[in-house]
Structure 1
């Protein structure tokens, strides 16, 4: 390799030359000046000679040492290697490289003496710690390995460049061609089609199959119809990623197919991406499909390493009319109750009338089965204290216990029933949940990622209006030993829960909702007594109107900020959100309020906008028409800005579908 002449030597030679020329010109005019210049010039020349000798000796010594080292390491062999090899010193400068390195890495450029990191973009810290690192160079991917050699006062790092381009090309192609299972189902096909004419059924079937054929025509996969409402597809990664990036436009296209001109068709899609085999992919696809159906349908679900991704979900769920599932669940639940010594019941944190009402309803049925029941509630953090006091009075205070008392009481022979939530993080007592050996979940909220996965019975019905409605249906099928009627106070509790979540039978109200209410009325539910459970003080009413008056409209959403503290803020804030839905052209309402160091957002909608999706972006959840979230370590202003961004994203995504 060529050694470059140091710049300082060139400068010294030029200075010497610059002094000699004027000295000859001045020799006749001023011998003194000429002699001084000549003396200085010769001194510089002598310095150059000495510097050159010393520099040459050092360079020769360095090159000699390195050559001696390379000879001992078979330098000729390294130079003939079919892979690029380079040697750098302690200053990470090139001191040697073989011919193939010059051709493939250096591209003919002389890199001797250059900084290695300025020429090869690689993380040297990673290379030093791991001994190897991947590095893209000149369109190729190299696996660079390092080996350190030390001898006497010389230290070198030998770098070997292994071309892995073909391997990564093959790996990329295998990843792109990896097959995945998709399961597509038509939501509530039987319920929608049962009253349709034969011609309408045939037309719907043709339009549906055409839509799916067009969907698959853009891929090299295939699809198989396994039942009137279910399709199995195999799609390669390259095409599946395109479908995911397009946000499953087939969901929007499916809604354009209407049975009898008025019932839109909706799809639920489970995607089994990331599996090692087709069998595993099918299992993942079924899990994702269950998640999609558990969230109300009309959406696609993709499982990722960190959880799930959701697409769609802008339509209202269609009520299911079949009671066979309810009867089977009721029989299984009664068997578990009868085989347990005691039953503990909990709802979600900051329980409301639906949570406490459902717990009271199932407790009343358990008491009728002559079993001991306890409801664990934190009275200091509950929004249904009026109902708790009412039940306490009717049962002589024998039903409710604190979470800590329940935690110390529960044994392996007892069971735990969780109502109005299926999320591990939202239960009234996480310790009680962990100590329970037998767990049953009864909930109507759309399924979230962190759901309870160890339940003996997971009764999840996102089409139900409330958990109280679900409990009302279940207790109808219990086989009571004596009297099948629960006490009137428990019927009041269940009716209050239904009225809360349906906003007095206005929202999310189906046929089964009214049937449940009629059954409770037969049991002696008192609508006047239930109405009193919703009453507020005059001060609470003033605070609610203050929140409503502060609201602003953004993108057809009413946003209000409660910038005051009060003991009943958790009650008046959701009530204010309900009131804001009465404003013309408002799709959803949001009330932001603070409790302690936590900023809360209560969200409501009439169904035109899915507030659950918006709250999930902020770390919360809930239902399509009623959701909430809690934000830590943020100000009210920051929460409002984050909410506006989430609203705009949701609106944009629903427009793009």
Structure 2
């Protein structure tokens, strides 16, 4: 605009220069011809005066026109904003409505009364203005009002009173109705496909446990239960085999199943036709995939997760991760030993193909991890291969056993530290992980990143974090201990494996530990494994000595028991103030001891060492401590579980565990 003004100004000056030039020529002509010169001068002066007057009139008219346009535009803008279909209001910082347009008045009130001078909270409860005084900052929020969804966009402005110097702040708010968009989005989301894989746990065993005359009724009731699920979910049920089904449904119907926490699990257990084994379901659900193919992959992964956690539960997988429901039953022992025989054969092939073999358990190994590791070492030795167990430091849980191993020439050179293990490991190294399936729990996680040949042998319920891309996975959650699994690999393999007496005692010690002297999670195969180890020369008295404790441990345990808090008359929770090296062992023993109190169904004990809080959880089976510990990153079994927490204080961890217990009690 300035460029144009300058341009026209130059033209004005040229006009005047022209007139002045004519005037100068007329004056010059006076000396030659007085009459002509006089006429020229008079005309030039007149023209200049007339031209100047004309320009003055035009300028005044232009300014008046501009004022009229500004007034018209101002009125148009005010009218447009007032009648804008988008609700708009201006608020004082205390919430008083300074100004509002018609759409806003219609939005907040059914009558035609103006909302000006009223407080916004008179119309919309709990509506507050953020105290942000930077007028350049535009903010957004979401509000639900009269069953409509709004996105509000607002910015702050300030006006200064020049006479007083005071500053007033106000906020301009635009209300954008997104109800139709939200409804359309919800309709799209609810219309997404959900895929559900269902398996009846141990179907053949359940049918065999039912009186023969009732078996057809049992099968019919199971089919009827799943058909009712198909009807309730408006889905499509396909029976793949006697014990496997698949259901396709919409997401909105899946959400109703989630709200009921998949009550079908409880309904299945209620089926009773004289069967000694309960009917339980393993259900894997996939939803929210980018495609049907990805949703199917989610369902398959969720189903594998359920089987790894013992069945009788639901795992739901979406883009964000896993959700779990159920998991109340312990499962039951499978009688077949075929899997152990097949795994034993596959492990033999892997060992024979390997030049370097590294074995490791979890951090702070216990007798189950160490006994299983030594058992795998002896298997390798029987095949003529030299293996190494990765162990950096020894804790009291395995101190006596490890000392005996170091004194025995049979195990010479068996242990290696982290640095040496990493040194000798390459992509072809066989890495055998025992008693854990979580990479972050292993003795040396770096080995898993180096080797491409990893074997996992574990009995803990599968967690969200697990070692992937294994060449061999032996994961049986119904087994008492990893030592029992390794014993079966020795016992049922086609190769005649001879193990050392101390190895047998280590394996028996691991079974002792995880069954609490054959009191918990003990099946027929557990006793068969123990009998086999006894025949291999395991001395029960020597095994008992592995668990001898120091006198100070008893005092710490007594203090833990003394400060025990009982919740709802059935759950104990306590902690240790002492920070001793073997605190994880002491709190585990204290948790076991607390279960001897009458009416107590579960116990939780915490202790701290360094920057780590250890938590031991025990149950008599009615309370699933695995699920509770999983909420803080732990896991284990229904009746024996634990967790480790870093970068939190003991009191913080205690309160977190207590909150989890109280939430569980409320849900019950």
Normalised to the residue count of structure 1, the TM-score between the two structures is: 0.77
Q: How far apart are 1:616 and its partner, in Å? A: 1.9
Q: Output the CA distance in 2 between the equivalents of 1:529 and 1:348.
A: 24
| Correspondent of 1:339 among 344, 353, 357 | 353
Distance 1:261 1:133, change over 3 A: closer
Q: Output the CA distance in 1 between the equivalents of 2:68 and 2:313.
A: 67
| Correspondent of 1:628 among 635, 642, 649 | 642
Match of residue 536 from structure 1: 549
1:398 paired with 2:409, answer: no
Deviation track 1:405-460 (CA, whole Å, cap 9, x = no partner) reads: 21222122212111100112211112222222221111100011111122222221
Q: How far apart are 1:342 and its partner, in Å? A: 0.7
* Aligned ranges 1:243-642 → 2 under 5 Å: 243-381=257-395, 383-394=397-408, 395=410, 397-478=412-493, 480=495, 484-554=497-567, 555-642=569-656
Deviation track 1:75-127 (CA, whole Å, cap 9, x = no partner) reads: 699789996497999x9999999987887799867689999999998999999
Preserved CA contact (<8 Å) 1:355 1:497: yes
Preserved CA contact (<8 Å) 2:632 2:643: yes
* Aligned ranges 1:73-88 → 2 under 5 Å: 84=86
Preserved CA contact (<8 Å) 1:613 1:650: no
Q: How far apart are 1:250 and its partner, in Å? A: 1.6
Deviation track 1:333-366 (CA, whole Å, cap 9, x = no partner) reads: 2222222211111101010000011000001101
Preserved CA contact (<8 Å) 2:298 2:318: no
Q: Output the CA distance in 2 between the equivalents of 1:308 and 1:117.
A: 40
Q: Output the CA distance in 1 between the equivalents of 2:284 and 2:146.
A: 41
Distance 1:339 1:101, change over 3 A: same
Q: How far apart are 1:188 and its partner, in Å? A: 1.2
1:187 paired with 2:238, answer: no
Q: How far apart are 1:249 and its partner, in Å? A: 1.4
Distance 1:69 1:360, change over 3 A: farther
Distance 1:122 1:506, change over 3 A: closer
Preserved CA contact (<8 Å) 1:356 1:384: yes
Q: How far apart are 1:368 and its partner, in Å? A: 1.3
Query: Structure 1 stretch 280-289 or stretch 620-629: which is displaced more?
Result: 280-289
Q: Output the CA distance in 2 between the equivalents of 1:642 and 1:296.
A: 26
Where 2:240 maps in the other structure, the secondary structure is strand
Distance 1:604 1:119, change over 3 A: closer
Where 1:383 maps in the other structure, the secondary structure is helix
Preserved CA contact (<8 Å) 1:127 1:133: no
Q: Output the CA distance in 2 between the equivalents of 1:301 and 1:227.
A: 21
Q: How far apart are 1:374 and its partner, in Å? A: 0.6
Preserved CA contact (<8 Å) 1:358 1:471: yes
Distance 1:102 1:608, change over 3 A: closer
Deviation track 1:285-331 (CA, whole Å, cap 9, x = no partner) reads: 22112212211111111224443221111111111223232222222
Q: Output the CA distance in 2 between the equivalents of 1:449 and 1:469.
A: 24
Which consecutive residues of structure 1, in runs of 5 or more, have no partner in the other structure? 1-60, 148-156
Q: Output the CA distance in 1 between the equivalents of 2:518 and 2:68.
A: 89
Preserved CA contact (<8 Å) 1:123 1:133: no
Where 1:570 maps in the other structure, the secondary structure is helix
Deviation track 1:222-274 (CA, whole Å, cap 9, x = no partner) reads: 32322222222223222221211121112122212235243221112212122
Where 1:263 maps in the other structure, the secondary structure is coil
Q: How far apart are 1:134 and its partner, in Å? A: 7.0
Deviation track 1:351-402 (CA, whole Å, cap 9, x = no partner) reads: 0000011000001101111112110112244621211122222235310111
Q: Output the CA distance in 2 between the equivalents of 1:332 and 1:402.
A: 28
Query: Structure 1 stretch 361-370 or stretch 572-581: which is displaced more?
Result: 572-581
Root-mean-square deviation over aligned CA pairs: 4.0
Match of residue 224 from structure 1: 238
Q: Output the CA distance in 2 between the equivalents of 1:582 and 1:595.
A: 26
Deviation track 1:143-184 (CA, whole Å, cap 9, x = no partner) reads: 78999xxxxxxxxx9999876543332222222232311222
Distance 1:313 1:140, change over 3 A: closer
Deviation track 1:604-654 (CA, whole Å, cap 9, x = no partner) reads: 22222221122223332211111112344555444444333322333443x
Deviation track 1:515-568 (CA, whole Å, cap 9, x = no partner) reads: 222222333322232222122244434443443444343331233332234333
Distance 1:648 1:146, change over 3 A: closer
Distance 1:539 1:223, change over 3 A: same
Query: Structure 1 stretch 252-261 or stretch 372-381: which is displaced more?
Result: 252-261
Preserved CA contact (<8 Å) 1:122 1:135: no
Q: Output the CA distance in 1 between the equivalents of 2:544 and 2:76.
A: 95
Which structure has the larger Rg?
A: 2
Distance 1:392 1:306, change over 3 A: farther
Normalised to the residue count of structure 2, the TM-score between the two structures is: 0.76
Preserved CA contact (<8 Å) 1:88 1:116: no
- Residues paired across the two proteins, number: 584
Which consecutive residues of structure 2, in runs of 5 or more, have no partner in the other structure? 1-62, 156-170
* Aligned ranges 1:58-69 → 2 under 5 Å: 68=70
Q: Output the CA distance in 2 between the equivalents of 1:639 and 1:590.
A: 12
Q: Output the CA distance in 1 between the equivalents of 2:636 and 2:324.
A: 15
Preserved CA contact (<8 Å) 2:218 2:273: yes
